[in-house]
Structure 1
């Protein structure tokens, strides 16, 4: 027993000596210096973060990405241009209609830009954007943005219909719409089979504004919002004409429920939002998309 106690004392003494001889590193592992920002990051701070508490991420961050897909980082200059377009066509449009407090309160707190699209392995469909729990919106295919001659139809297809679509998800996930909407096209939803529909025209004749709207009820709801807001009056009328006598009344019934939901739940007049967006779309040629 005495020998065992002696061994313990010797071990403790050796630990004490070794600890006393180790010099602690005086440098903290945390960097107390202010973050160095490039010109774009300073612009993001002033135009996104401070007024709206939005963290716009354009540098590739694998933590923010879906590991199931191989994607490429967003180009710096394309990211600058898209950030300016999103501010003008989406953030400022809602602010014009509802004020800064609304967009600062309900907008996603992270916007993530990815250079390439994501492709589904099954079916080959393309992911244009994602919204995650109301906290983050991801936009893809940034590197295909034409910064010299931006075309509004291309912008809407790749980015802004997606922005309104995903933001509509955030709104209904916060305040749900009436389940009566789900009964209008009950039994007609296709699930993943939407990619097999021959065309949008086929979906329109069924009472949907697009092929993707046939996926399920929530996608139908937000597609109706996104397409009405971003499409011109002529394009919206073309949808109704294509839908015909069977499809058009169904689309209009869904639209009236969407319109009522936005007005009663959020104070959003979708007709005024549509007008604001359309007016702004006509001015994109006047924007300087390269200068910060």
Structure 2
């Protein structure tokens, strides 16, 4: 009987509570803002050159959910965004579209670019120039420091994009990892940043960062060739004094060329030449 009384009391309380709520003043409109912000001229330019043709969005307004909040990072200056993305469009997208076909980047590309104004400094003293995440998002750092008239500066910037895009291509179609791993199996190290580039090249690696893993090695080899003229790349090879190391770098180059041909029907050297032509255009215009 006691349980029945408690239940009855609870039921009556619930009825009273509902009646009370029914008489309270209800909100007449939502506090959420569903309005669409006005597009700036920069937003329209991004839409015409990236979002509409390639389904690639460019985030330059700060969003803490898109970056590592444990780092001291900040958004790019407004007047630096379009020049940076013009470099990306001309040297990366246009080169692949010309050699790989008009739909190549439309089919295989990151769907988001996140732009950061300054450097991304690591605890070991190295600097992260770019990040590719799950083949969908690429973060580019040091956008504020890009100087389109400085070839070395443009080359470093576009090297980051070429490198990260190679990772995306590898996620689509893997390269011959077994063949690659046999070339310089003992040279990989997590302490790659302690070695001078000349030392790394005389161990069979195109850059010191290439020594981190076979995946970074492949991406660095491809990106270095794509951001160098034939003469510049020949000079790199000429600087390698160890015959075995030079042979291994050439063997890696051959695997890159074969990968692009077999996986995507792309002439890698034609792609290199197109990228160099477009780099010249960026610097001279």
* Range class of TM-score, shorter chain: over 0.9
Give the deviation of 1:60 after TM superposition.
Answer: 1.6
Deviation at 1:25, TM superposition (A): 2.6
**Are the counterparts in 2 of residues 240 and 247 from structure 1 also a CA contact under 8 Å?**
no
Listed as ranges, the gaps of 5+ residues in structure 2 are: none
Match of 1:8 in 2: 10
Task: Name the SS of the counterpart of 1:237 in structure 2.
Answer: helix
1:161 and 1:71 map into 2 onto residues whose CA distance is 21
TM-score normalised to structure 2 length = 0.93
TM-score, normalised relative to structure 1: 0.91
Q: For 1:161-205, what per-residue CA distance to the aligned partner results, in whole angstroms no more than 9, with x for missing partners?
A: 111101001111221111211110011112x211111x2111111
Question: 2:141 is matched with which residue?
Answer: 140
What is the aligned partner in structure 2 of residue 215 from structure 1? 212
Q: Identify the range of structure 1 (204-213 vs 1-10) with the bigger mean alpha-carbon deviation.
A: 1-10
Residues in 2 aligned to 1:26 and 1:94: alpha-carbon distance in whole angstroms: 54
Between the aligned partners of 1:181 and 1:50, the Cα distance in structure 2 is: 38
Query: Aligned-pair RMSD on alpha carbons?
Result: 1.7
Runs of 4+ in 1 over 3 A off after TM superposition: 1-6, 28-35
1:1-292 matches, cutoff 5 A? 1=1, 3-29=5-31, 31-121=33-123, 123-146=124-147, 150-157=149-156, 159-178=157-176, 179-190=178-189, 192-197=190-195, 199-244=196-241, 245-287=243-285
Q: Tell whether the 8 Å contact from 2:183 to 2:248 is kept in structure 1 after alignment.
A: yes
Distance 1:29 1:106, change over 3 A: farther
C-alpha displacement of 1:132: 0.6
Specify the SS of the correspondent of 2:114: strand
Partner deviation per Cα, 1:141-173 (whole Å, 9 max, x = no partner) = 1111235xx21211111x211111010011112
The size of the alignment, in residue pairs, is 281
Deviations 1:213-255 (CA, angstroms, capped at 9, x unpaired): 1111111111110000111122101110111323221111110
Point out where structure 1 has 5 or more consecutive residues left out of the alignment: 288-292
